[in-house]
Amino acid sequence: MKNIANLLFKANILKNIPRSGYHFLGAGKESVAEHSFSVSFIAFVMSQMEPDVDALRLIAMSLVHDLPEAKTGDLNYVQKKYVTADENKAVRDITRDLPFGTKLADLIEEFNACRSTESKLANDADQLALILDLKSLSDIGYEPPKKWLPYALKRLKTKTGRTLAESIMQTEWDAWWLENYVDSPNKKE
């Protein structure tokens, strides 16, 4: 049981590890745990759009895909040009001595290999979480995210991911609450 408790503490530390790419944007911030929640929620939505996929596998993969960052920290695309994290070692260290360690390691490996339908959707969910943040920052007036959006959009691998991205790009970040709370002809008093 102690090994499972340690796993929970490792996952919990992700709340304190900042995503490092925001430094280059000049705006925004997010922890790895916040990112993982967003990716997992997007994966849930995708599983409803793609009923033939293994929803539990897709969501679980999305939830744990950045777990190795509890050991390695978050490396952004610039840092990855100069620093190589030994993610395999981090995964081995995290999953060692867990009764379900192999399952956890398999989910991370599948995400990274990006061959199965679920892993492609999970990778798209990862990009869509970034696209949501970039679009939100862009909508409130920050210019640098506009430079990054085309690259994130190009990384999408599935039709479902591209469809969601198109909808995100056509929707203002605050439309969901403005339509309900701002005076409008449709508002009921």
Domain range enclosing 169: 2-176
- pLDDT for the residue 179: 79
Task: Identify whether 161 is part of a domain.
Answer: yes
**Residue 76 contacts residue 151 (beta carbons within 8 Å):** no
Per-residue pLDDT tens for 135-179? 999 999 999 889 999 999 999 999 999 999 999 999 999 988 887
User: What is the spatial distance between Cα 37 and Cα 42, in angstroms, rounded to a whole number?
Assistant: 9
pLDDT, tens digit, 9 for 90 and up, residues 60-111: 999 999 999 999 989 988 898 999 999 999 999 999 999 999 999 999 999 9
- Contacts of 128-131 spanning 24+ positions with Cβ under 8 A: 128/39, 128/42, 128/156, 128/161, 128/164, 128/165, 128/168, 129/35, 129/38, 129/39, 129/42, 130/21, 131/165, 131/168, 131/169
Rg of the chain on CA atoms, in Å: 18
**Count of domains in the chain?**
1
The pTM is what? 0.91
d(CA 47, CA 41): 10
- Which parts of 20-174 are beta strand (E)? none
The CATH code of the domain that includes 112 is 1.10.3210.10
* Residue 122 counted as domain residue: yes
Q: Is residue 187 included in any domain, yes or no?
A: no
